A and B are shown apart, each in its own frame.
Chain A
Amino acid sequence: MAFLFRNKQKNHAELVQSTKKLTIQLSEDSKPNPKVEEELARDLAQMKIRLQGTPDAEVNQEMVFQLLSFIIQEDLLYSLANNIHRLPFESRKDAQVVFSTAFRYKPVGASDPQVLHHVIQFRPQIIISLCRGYDRRESAMPCGGVLREALKYDSIAALLLYDEPVADGKTRDLGDVNPDEPSSGNGVFWTFFEWIDKGAFEVSADAFNTFRDILTKHKALVAQYLQTNFDLFFTKYNTILVQSESYVTKRQSIKLLGEILLDRANYNVMTQYVDSGEHLKIIMKLLRDDRKMINYEGFHVFKVFVANPNKSVAVQRILISNREKLLRFLPNFLEDRTDDEQFMDEKSFLIRQIEQLPPVPVPPPNAA
């Protein structure tokens, strides 16, 4: 028990310094070094306990504050974020706790998460590095957990959305961002498409959850962003996600698409989306997919096209030329979903709408 005793004696500064030193050492060693790993694991476990307490012992807020100050001072989070995948198994979770507690930390009475604030202002690279955790299976889950914790704040979402690669390796200051300027498509946000599409199941699923959080929890921000980057976003979304080879990715992204479109905040995005005949084609193919949950999720996007009172000519043309087919197809479409009342209602509504289509496309009254 000698080592435990020694560790208990490490003060906050020593603990943080030691952790940082070991983390960097771990990242530099080409081959695994069990001794370093072991000691780092002890340090991180200790740090976790000091930040989180144990079931039996509550933490002292004063001590948490001190420890976090040292963590910031030493810029420990950055080293950790870059090296989570190198940590031993349990230490990854400990590191996750360190991050989460730090990001959640608010001084008594304050509404501002102090540490997170600092990170956004001075060390946004930490957030970007956490996203890069999706590059590896080992780090995906802990990083994802931390990211979703941080994504409770709009500024983190903004940071991810407006990230652009800069030559000197720095990240952009959020103050400089012009939201009307289209994205280059090379920032970290766009890499999510690859993580979702290419990753192992857990990575992909976790990345998707984070992706969904970015897109659904920051409505005003995202609405603006999607309008500016409409073509880039939906081209990628349609080709990489909606038409993904992976069943899970495909199904989840169609569902998310429906959620995005039907969100009031995204009204303009939605109208623009449902004007496109190309989009309609993609969605109509989903209705014919041989997997019924794909059909079902596709339906919830399709209905937006049909229910739109100002259908574009392109959309009308497709619907009209398929009118007979649709009227034959829809009544039997997923007809075993009898317990889904809303679905049945919506289906009959769509049928009625399609019946009432004019014989030839009529330009919408306020066509742009």
Chain B
Amino acid sequence: MAEAYTVLEELGSGSFGTVYKAIEKATGETVAIKLIDLENSSDELSDIQAEIGLLSTCKSPYVTEYKTSFVKGVKLWIVMEFLGGGSALDLMKPGPFSEAHVAVVCKQLLLGLEYLHSTGKIHRDIKAANVLLTDSGKVKLADFGVAAQLNDYKSQRHTFVGTPYWMAPEVIQEAGYDFKADVWSLGITAVEMVKGEPPNAQIHAMKALFVIPKNPPPRLEGDNYSRDFKDFIAQCLIKDPDRRASAKELLEHRFIKRAGKTEAMRELIERKQMFDAQQETTTHLKYYEETMVDLSPRTEDDGWIFDTIKQASIAPARQNMQAPSRRKMSRISSSDGGPAPMMQRMDMNAAPLGSVTDSPIPERRRPSSRKSSEATVVHEDPSTMPTVRRVSNVPKQPLGVDLTFGNSPSTVRHFKRVSSGERRTALSANNPPGANPFHPNPHAKTFRPSPPDSANPLDDPNDENSPPAPVYPPAPVTKDALYGRRAYGKVLDSVFQEAYANSASPHQREALGGVHQAWAQLDLVDPQGEFMLMKAMIDRLQSDSKLASALGISVSPAPTPKHTTKNSESLSGTTVHGTSTTRIRSSTTTTSTYSKTSGEHTSSPREPSFQSPVSTPSRTKSPSPLKGPKFILAQSNPHLKSHRRRQSGVVGGEKVYDRALDEKKLPGHVEPGMEQQGLLADILYGQWMQGLRSRWPLA
């Protein structure tokens, strides 16, 4: 299948994968191909399938046409119609649209929505970035990543999905919504096109989620806009979905009735071309290239022994590894042992032709908040507001690293499209990638614990003989380190984010972002020190009675780790969980509890409506939350190191055989200071046995 296309330059990329321009060899037709790496995609396969299923049942001049899809290697190729005019968002770069142009786009969008709605589909992510144009100015709806198919006209949806600024109040409130949600988003998109940005764009996306249901709906004001236009907006932006007009009704609106032809959009496309020419942004095109990776021959050791050895002659493993077994193996494992299958695995993402360093990447990241990239088929170009998408196990971003502000994407990277079930994951995925070599953390050394520590009476007694290893990759797993990790991953990180989200001025944000980043690095490098630092802070704060009472930390004999001091109501709107995967994996109740660490920000608005009905924040009030098996949680903190490893592309399980460290990972090896791990293992083991007994009652 893939041979049928000549793949040309990259058009854009985002969390979903990369979009290339391509030519279908048989017809000479230009197409757009979206390449999704299924191995690394954060979406479930079934979600991707659902998107394709939905797309393939759409055929309308107002919807981007889906052509076909196929799998090559681990990549899914989705072939789509190529739209040379770019997105409406791209076209806004030289400046906002005139009212007449907005009318044209709205009319086409309404026709598209009428079609979708009549076939029982809700798009759920209408915004300028998802409106694409052909060279000739035809307007089409794109990106069905979160669209839904309803069974019949009466059914409703509850999933929290979309892009914050464009989301209808009923979607945010999860009160159940239907087709009318798209009409709201369309109204917001109309405002976006004429003003250059959606209403509320000046506030942070998280805050917008509170504001939209609370405030009166946005309106266009002033003499610059016609009465019809204002009325059209007012019809779209009615908070009560039942009173809001349908797409069909809006097609009869005077503003739409007098809309011009799509050819008028040519003006904007040309304007954009002129604009680009003036900017002289000679972009380096990135070309598609297939790269072969993983050609390194496997070691002899690699592979299992499936010899049928007679029971009597069971020999030590060493002998098994020798010649006779290998002979046998070659017969058995011909299907996956040799290099041939590895040759087949090609990495299509890697190594574009141009050198990466002066590729347009920095271009796209430039901090003009709402300007989008050069890319034309950008659905979710990184610099546009990312849509709240389903799960993101995607690379985790610390707050405010590539610090732009306002509604810029970097601050809300975690704000991928999320279905209500996975918002929690998305949020908790904010753990920092940590190590930023340019931000050394002064605290890291200062507070390094020196055990056995008499100076620190709050030290855990278990910890007395843990000498902190001086080298930090990898950080020693001590109990304190686990606490530290836990505190950071579960509490501090989200606190930082909350504070960040709640602060308005760029300066505040910058400052906060810096602290957060520094802390993230501390967490990465020295979780134990991190814990000690927190402990020391709590200690001092407690000893100052005024501060202690202000913070609500009473002086108690038991050491109270900071993250349990007080759990606020928790912005659990962002931490919702719902359906988990079918697999029998325990759903960890990773509740992000926001403590009041950052006192000055706690007065932020908290909408009860935002609270999900399902969320069960497990508020650990007990002074020592780490007792019991839950203690293991800390280990589960995702951190950058592992990420790096993953991204380095080395296949797991093959690389580290020779590392000296290896031995430490072997079971049975007790590291000094890790004795309690044995205990842990026992608990674990016990749990397991219980689980098994229920499964194999015979045992």
Partners in one complex: yes
Q: Which A residues fall within an 8 A CB radius of B?
A: 52-55, 89-90, 93, 100, 141, 200-202, 205-206, 209, 243, 246-248, 251-252, 255, 258-259, 262, 264, 277, 281, 284-285, 287-293, 295, 300, 307-310, 313, 317-318, 320-325, 327-329, 331-346, 348-349, 351-352, 355, 359-361, 366
A329 proximity list for chain B (CB < 8 A) = 653
Residues of B within 8 A of A (CB): 38-39, 45-46, 49, 52-53, 56-57, 59, 68-71, 73-74, 76, 117, 119, 151-153, 179, 246, 294, 301-309, 311, 314, 317-318, 320-321, 332-333, 335-336, 341-342, 345, 393, 582-586, 588, 632-633, 635-639, 642-643, 645-646, 651-653, 655-657, 662, 665-668, 681, 684-685, 687-688, 692, 695-696, 698-699
Instruction: Say yes or no: A355 contacts B668, CB within 8 Å.
Output: yes
Interchain nearest-CB distance for B669 vs A (Å) = 10
Please name the 8 residue pairs, one residue from A and one from B, whose CB atoms are nearest each other, closest first. Answer: A336-B642, A309-B699, A324-B317, A339-B638, A331-B665, A342-B585, A341-B636, A333-B653
Tell which of B308, B582, B667 touches A352, judged by Cβ atoms closer than 8 Å. Answer: B667
Q: Would A366 and B635 count as touching, CB distance under 8 A? A: no
* Contact, CB under 8 Å: A321 / B656: no
27 residue pairs from A and B, CB less than 8 Å apart: A52-B153, A53-B152, A200-B70, A201-B52, A209-B46, A246-B71, A248-B71, A251-B38, A277-B306, A285-B304, A288-B336, A288-B653, A290-B294, A309-B699, A318-B304, A331-B665, A332-B652, A332-B656, A335-B652, A335-B656, A336-B643, A338-B635, A344-B635, A345-B632, A345-B687, A352-B667, A361-B311
A247: B residues at CB distance < 8 A: 38, 71, 73-74
Q: For A90, what are the chain B residues with a Cβ–Cβ distance below 8 Å?
A: 59, 119
Q: Is the CB of B246 within 8 A of A325?
A: no
Tell me whether A341 and B632 are in contact in the complex, defined as CB-CB below 8 angstroms, given that A259-B582, A310-B699, A322-B304 are known contacts. Answer: yes
Point out the residue from B59, B320, B335, B642 that lies within 8 Å of A321, measured CB to CB: B320
Complex: chain B residue closest to A343, CB-CB: B585
Q: CB distance A201 to B685 under 8 Å?
A: no
Known contacts A290-B651, A360-B311, A284 near B304 by CB under 8 Å: yes
Question: Which residues of the other chain, A, contact B687 by a CB distance below 8 angstroms?
Answer: 345
Contact check, B314 vs A352: say whether CB atoms are below 8 A apart: no
Contact between chains at A55 and B153 (CB < 8 Å): yes
Interface contact A141-B652, CB-CB below 8 Å: no
Closest approach, in angstroms, between the C-beta of A40 and any C-beta of chain B? 17
- CB-CB < 8 A to A318: which residues of B? 304-306
Asked whether A341 lies within 8 Å of B662 as measured between CB atoms, the reply is: no
Checking A205, A206, A334, A346 against B653 with a beta-carbon cut-off of 8 angstroms, the contacting residue is A334
CB neighbours of A206 from chain B (8 A): 49, 53
Q: Are B588 and A341 in contact (CB under 8 A)?
A: yes
Q: Give min CB distance, A176 to chain B, whole Å.
A: 35
Give the chain B neighbours of A360 by CB distance below 8 A. Answer: 311, 314
**Given A202-B69, A289-B336, A345-B688, residue A321 in contact with residue B307 (CB < 8 A):** yes
A278: nearest residue on chain B (CB-CB)?
B306
Most B Cβ at <10 Å: residue of A54, A90, A361: A90
Q: Which of A202, A243, A336, A351 contacts B53 (CB 8 A)?
A: A202
**In whole angstroms, how far apart are the Cα atoms of A337 and B393 in the complex?**
11
What residue of chain A has the Cβ atom nearest to residue B344's Cβ? A245
Q: How near does chain A come to B582, taking the closest CB pair, in angstroms?
A: 6
A349 to chain B: which residues have CB within 8 Å?
A: 684-685, 688
Contact B305–A339 (Cβ < 8 Å) = no
Q: How far is the CB of B653 from chain A (nearest CB, A)?
A: 5
A144 to chain B, nearest CB (A): 9
Complex alpha-carbon distance, A334 and B179, angstroms: 43
B667 interface neighbour in A141, A292, A331, Cβ under 8 Å: A331
- Chain B residues with CB under 8 Å of A359's CB are 314
Q: Is there an interface contact between B68 and A200, defined as CB atoms closer than 8 Å?
A: yes
Which residue of the partner chain, among B152, B585, B662, contacts A331 with CB atoms under 8 Å? Answer: B662
CB pair B70 A201 closer than 8 Å:
yes
A345 to B, closest residue via Cβ: B684
Contact indicator A291/B53 (Cβ below 8 Å):
no
Which B residues touch A52, using CB under 8 A?
A: 152-153
A290-B294, A292-B651, A344-B635 known; 12 other A-B pairs, CB under 8 Å? A52-B152, A55-B117, A90-B59, A205-B49, A205-B53, A307-B688, A321-B320, A335-B656, A338-B639, A340-B636, A341-B635, A341-B636
The answer to whether A344 touches B45, judged by C-beta atoms less than 8 angstroms apart, is: no
Distance, CA A201 to CA B72, complexed state (A) = 10
A93 touches B119 (CB 8 A): yes
Contact B335 A243 (CB under 8 A): yes
- In the assembled complex, the Cα of A293 lies from the Cα of B333 at a distance in Å of 20
In Å, the complex CA distance between A324 and B322 comes to: 14
- How far, in whole Å, are A100 and B655 apart by their CA atoms in the complex? 52
Q: B433 CB to closest chain A CB, in angstroms?
A: 13
A351 in complex: contacting residue of B73, B304, B336, B667, CB < 8 Å: B667
Q: Which residues of A contact B643 (CB under 8 A)?
A: 336
Chain A residues, CB < 8 A from B662: 328, 331-332
Of A54, A292, A361, most B-chain CB atoms within 10 Å: A292
B32 to chain A, nearest CB (A): 17
Chain A residues lying within 8 Å of B308, measured Cβ to Cβ, are 317
Cβ B684 vs Cβ A348 within 8 A = yes
Alpha-carbon separation in the docked complex, A337 to B335 (Å) = 27
Q: Which residues of B contact A351 (CB under 8 A)?
A: 667
Q: Which residues of A contact B655 (CB under 8 A)?
A: 332
Known: A89-B59, A288-B304. A327 touches B666 (CB 8 A): yes
Chain A residues within 8 Å of B638, by CB: 338-339
In the complex, residue of chain B having the shortest beta-carbon distance to the beta carbon of A360: B314
When the two chains form their complex, are residues A323 and B317 in contact, meaning their CB atoms are under 8 A apart?
yes
Q: Which residues of A contact B635 (CB under 8 A)?
A: 338, 341, 344
Do B666 and A331 touch across chains, with their CB atoms under 8 A apart?
A: yes
**CB <8 Å contact, A366 and B698:** yes
B317 adjacent to A338 (CB under 8 Å) = no
What residues of B have a CB within 8 angstroms of the CB of A288 in the complex? 302-304, 336, 653
A323: chain B residues at CB < 8 Å are 317
Per the bound structure, the CA–CA distance linking A340 and B74 in Å amounts to 22
Rounded to whole Å, the gap between the CB of A299 and the closest CB of chain B is 10
The smallest C-beta distance from A306 to any residue of chain B, in angstroms, reads: 11
Of residues A262, A285, A321, which shows the largest number of chain B Cβ atoms within 10 Å of its Cβ? A321
Q: A320-B314, A332-B653 are in contact. Are A55 and B69 (CB under 8 A)?
A: no
A258 to B666, CA, bound (A): 27
A308 touching B696, Cβ below 8 Å: yes
Contacts of B38 in A (CB 8 A): 247-248, 251, 293
- Interface core residue of B151, B304, B314, B662 (most chain A CB under 10 Å): B304
Chain B residues near A324: list those with CB within 8 A: 317-318
Residue in A closest to B307 when the chains form the complex, CB atoms = A321
Per a CB cutoff under 8 Å, which of A201, A285, A300, A313 touches B336? A285
| Nearest CB of B to A68, in Å | 16
In the complex, the answer to whether B652 meets A338 with C-beta atoms within 8 Å is: no
| Alpha-carbon separation in the docked complex, A351 to B668 (Å) | 10
Closest-CB distance, B685 to chain A (whole angstroms): 6
Q: A53-B153, A309-B696, A336-B645 are in contact. Are A295 and B74 (CB under 8 A)?
A: no
Cα–Cα, bound, A74→B165 (Å): 52
Q: Which residues of B contact A300 (CB under 8 A)?
A: 583
Across the interface, A322 reaches (CB within 8 A) one of B117, B305, B582, B668, namely B305
In the complex, what residues of B have CB within 8 A of residue A339's CB? 393, 636-638
Are B332 and A295 in contact (CB-based, < 8 A)?
A: no
In the complex, what residues of B have CB within 8 A of residue A342's CB? 584-586
Report how far A324 CA is from B315 CA in the complex, Å. 12
Could you tell me the distance in whole angstroms from the C-beta of B50 to the nearest C-beta in chain A? Answer: 10
In the bound complex, CA of A125 to CA of B133 (Å): 46
Query: Are A341 and B667 in contact, CB atoms less than 8 angstroms apart?
Result: no
* Chain A: minimal CB distance from B58 (Å): 10
Residue in B closest to A320 when the chains form the complex, CB atoms: B314
Question: Known contacts A321-B305, A341-B586; is A281 also within 8 Å of B667 by CB?
Answer: no
Chain A contacts of B71 at CB under 8 A?
201, 246-248
Write out the residue numbers on chain B whose beta carbons fall within 8 Å of the beta carbon of A344.
Answer: 635-636
How far does the Cβ of A221 sit from chain B's closest Cβ, in whole Å? 19
Cβ contacts under 8 Å, B153 to chain A: 52-55
